[in-house]
Amino acid sequence: MPRKYWLATTLPDTLVQVQNFLVKIAGYATVLGLTPAQVGAAQDLCEAIIGAINSTDQCRTTMQAMTQWRDSVLTGEPVGANAAAAPVFPVVGAVVYQVGSLTQFVRLRDQIVASSGYTLAIGEDLGLVGAETSKPAPSSVTPDLTAQASTGYMVNLTGSMQGMDALRVEYSRDGNNFTTVAFLTNTPGGFQVTPQTPNQPEKGFVRAVFIKKNEVVGNYSANYPVTVS
């Protein structure tokens, strides 16, 4: 089963991922063939990533407090009273910070995965493999489209094909009796409506359902109102 990319994509998730690795890596040193120096370097790298994230968050919080302190000094009450002490920004720890620490973390991960003692279970415990992904059940697949009318009685549809072969597009003048008007194999795509009264504007509804290997898959989309002319 395919997996998502292993590295977290947000700073909060990165923090959790690196903290987990930090507390566990020493326990796998022997099986992975890591020397004490390599384990120490890996831990220092994690401390730098964690410190950079946390220090920035702490400074942001302090800056908000600093703004409140400034406003109190300038316009606070009671006038003439001594102001509270100004907030103090945190001191960044004595960790050695290097440029490109996350890139180094990716390289460290690749080194660990290439180790002869590495197993998938180790990778999962250290947070070095992505979560398994699964395809949605066919019954849950529903087109999510945008329908927009243009001149010449044309209707254009945009939206993801979700890996399907085609969209069967249906049109109704009254919202009840839908008839097939087009098969689209790509989006954006368009089709032309034949109005009931030639050369007159017409209101109607458009809906669609996915086709995979010549079979209908999943649910119909919502009914999208259009006015063609």
30-51: average pLDDT: 96
User: First-to-last CA distance in the chain?
Assistant: 49
Taking CA atoms, 216 is separated from 169, 179, 228, in Å, by 12, 15, 27
Euclidean distance between CA atoms 8 and 110, whole angstroms: 15
* Res 125: pLDDT: 96
Retrieve residue 8's tokens: 């977290």
pLDDT > 80? residue 65: yes
Q: Is residue 81 helix, strand or coil? A: coil
Torsion of CA 110, 113, 114, 119, to 10 degrees: 180
Euclidean distance between CA atoms 31 and 83, whole angstroms: 59
Residue-wise pLDDT tens digits, 207-222? 999 999 999 999 999 9
Euclidean distance between CA atoms 211 and 64, whole angstroms: 53
Q: How far is CA 49 from the centre of its chain?
A: 21
pLDDT > 70? residue 1: no
pLDDT > 90? residue 96: no
Report the predicted TM-score, pTM, of the whole model to 2 decimal places: 0.59
Phi-psi region of 116 (alpha: psi -120 to 50; beta: other; left: phi over 0): alpha
User: Which residues does 73 contact at the CB level (< 8 Å), separation at least 6?
Assistant: 83
Which of 61-65, 132-136, 209-213 shows the lowest per-residue confidence on average (mean pLDDT)? 132-136
Q: How does the average pLDDT of the chain come out, rounded?
A: 92
Quick one: what percent of the chain has pLDDT higher than 70? 98
Structural domains of the chain in order of their starting residue, each with its CATH number = 11-126 (no CATH), 140-228 (2.60.40.10)
* Res 186: pLDDT: 92
* Res 93: pLDDT: 73
